[in-house]
Structure 1
Amino acid sequence: MTAADEKRLTCVNRSAALSRAFEFLGRRWNGAVLGKLRDGPLGFREISREIDGISDSVLSNRLSSLVTAGLIVRVVDAGPPVSVSYSLTDSGRALMPALDEIAVWADQHLTP
């Protein structure tokens, strides 16, 4: 394989990875949920109160998809009373610097 072929393959792989990332992160509310969990665990109601405009059914769906993706973890405390909290995994925490950079770029380059 030539250097040009390797470079083309690297670009294709990077493009595919970015497509996967933005397809997932571009789903409405995923980034907001992750951002709210950056400072520590929160329960469902706390997250719901923190994100204006998200319905309970959509929040439930987003939390499930983020758990499935391995970005957050759902922890059940047997209580009493029983409580459920959500927090970032190592993978979710590793995403925070990239989300911070995207936010900075948006502030600088996208009109509100």
Structure 2
Amino acid sequence: MTPLPGRPVRGSTTRRPVMALLDLLGRRWALRILWELRDSALTFRTLQQRCDGVSSSVLATRLRELAEADLADHSGDGYALTEQGRSLFGTLVELDAWASRWRPRQPS
């Protein structure tokens, strides 16, 4: 079942939207698929190649989940980020910038 706001998800029964998002993004290949769709629509085969040969069944499952979550969709040009997907990607870029500055405390 696709993790969506209002549903219990792996590791949490709170139904909080952030927990659903973290569950969805934590699934194998989900973030990579979003990353590869950042600039333009891609066909299934091109997306599979860009994702280092992810299996077609896993790619199809992730694309279905991302579509159900309204983050990616299929059009005549292939798979692309939706408006919500582009908004999420902008947030992920900010998170990436934060992670680049992240310095865990060193043991004393």
TM exceeding 0.5: yes
Question: How many pairs does the alignment contain?
Answer: 90
The ranges of structure 1 where at least 4 consecutive aligned residues each deviate by more than 4 angstroms after the TM superposition are none
1:100 aligns with 2:101: no
Q: 1:91 to 1:53 in 2, by over 3 A?
A: same
Take 2:40 and 2:28, find their aligned partners in 1: how far apart are those partners?
21
* 1:1-112 paired onto structure 2 within 5 Å: 16-75=16-75, 77=76, 85-109=78-102
Q: Cα 1:55–1:108, aligned 2, differ >3 Å: closer, same or farther?
A: farther
Counterparts of 2:55 and 2:103, CA distance in 1? 27
Once the two structures are superposed, what CA deviation does each residue of 1:8-38 show, in whole Å capped at 9, x if it has no partner? xxxxxxx923211101111111111011111
What TM-score, normalized by structure 2, do the two folds share?
0.72
Structure having the higher strand fraction is 1
Greater helix proportion: 1
- Between the two proteins, what is the percent identity of the paired residues? 37
Match of 2:12 in 1: none
* Equivalent position SS for 2:38: helix
TM-fit CA distance, 1:110: 7.8
Unaligned 5+ residue runs, structure 1?
1-14, 78-83
